[in-house]
Structure 1
Amino acid sequence: MSNSVGGPGNPIGGEADPFGGDDVLPIEKQRRAHQFLTQETRYHIIQAVLGHPRYLATLDEFEYLVPKNRSTIREHLDRLAEKQVMAKYKYRGDEAERNDPREFWGLTSYGVTLLDEYSYLRYVPVLRALQEHLYLTEKIKRHQDAPRPDLPEDVSDALKIPELDDETETLIDDVLAAREHGGGRLFDAPPIEPNEDIETEDGADRPLDELF
Structure 2
Amino acid sequence: MSNSVGGAGNPVGGEADPFGGDDVMPIEKQRRAHQFLTQETRYHIIQAVLGHPTYLATLDELEYLVPKNRSTIREHLDRLAEKQVMVKYKYRGDETERNEPREFWGFTSYGITLLEEYSYLRYVPVLRALQENLYLTEKIERHQNAPRPELPEDVSEALKIPEVDDETEAIIDDTLAVRERGGDRLFDAPPIEPDEDVETEPGADRPLDELF
The answer on whether the counterparts of 2:91 and 2:102 sit within 8 Å (CA) in structure 1 is yes
Segments of structure 2 that go 5 or more residues without pairing to the other structure are: 1-8, 192-209
Aligned to 1:10: 10
Runs of 4 or more, structure 1, over 6 Å off, are: none
Task: Say if 1:209 and 1:33 are closer, same or farther in 2 by CA, change over 3 A.
Answer: closer
Show CA shifts across 1:162-200 (max 9, x none): 00110000100010001111235125xxxxxxxxxxxxx
The answer on whether the counterparts of 2:125 and 2:161 sit within 8 Å (CA) in structure 1 is yes
Aligned to 1:177: 177
Query: Structure 1 length normalisation: TM-score?
Result: 0.84
CA-based RMSD: 1.3
2: CA distance between counterparts of 1:162 and 1:111? 20
- Give the CA deviation at 1:99: 1.0
Aligned residues: 185
Aligned to 1:72: 72
- Give the CA deviation at 1:21: 0.2
Query: Structure 2 length normalisation: TM-score?
Result: 0.84
2: CA distance between counterparts of 1:146 and 1:113? 27
Higher relative contact order (CA 8 A, sep 6+): 2
The answer on whether the counterparts of 1:56 and 1:105 sit within 8 Å (CA) in structure 2 is yes
Secondary structure of 1:128's aligned partner: helix
Aligned to 2:37: 37
- Give the CA deviation at 1:209: 8.1
Task: Say if 1:208 and 1:182 are closer, same or farther in 2 by CA, change over 3 A.
Answer: farther
Aligned to 2:107: 107
* Structure 1 letter corresponding to 2:128: R
Secondary structure of 2:161's aligned partner: coil
2: CA distance between counterparts of 1:31 and 1:10? 18
Segments of structure 1 that go 5 or more residues without pairing to the other structure are: 1-8, 188-206
2: CA distance between counterparts of 1:78 and 1:156? 22
Percent pairwise identity: 85
* Structure 2 letter corresponding to 1:38: T
1: CA distance between counterparts of 2:93 and 2:174? 40
The answer on whether the counterparts of 1:91 and 1:148 sit within 8 Å (CA) in structure 2 is yes
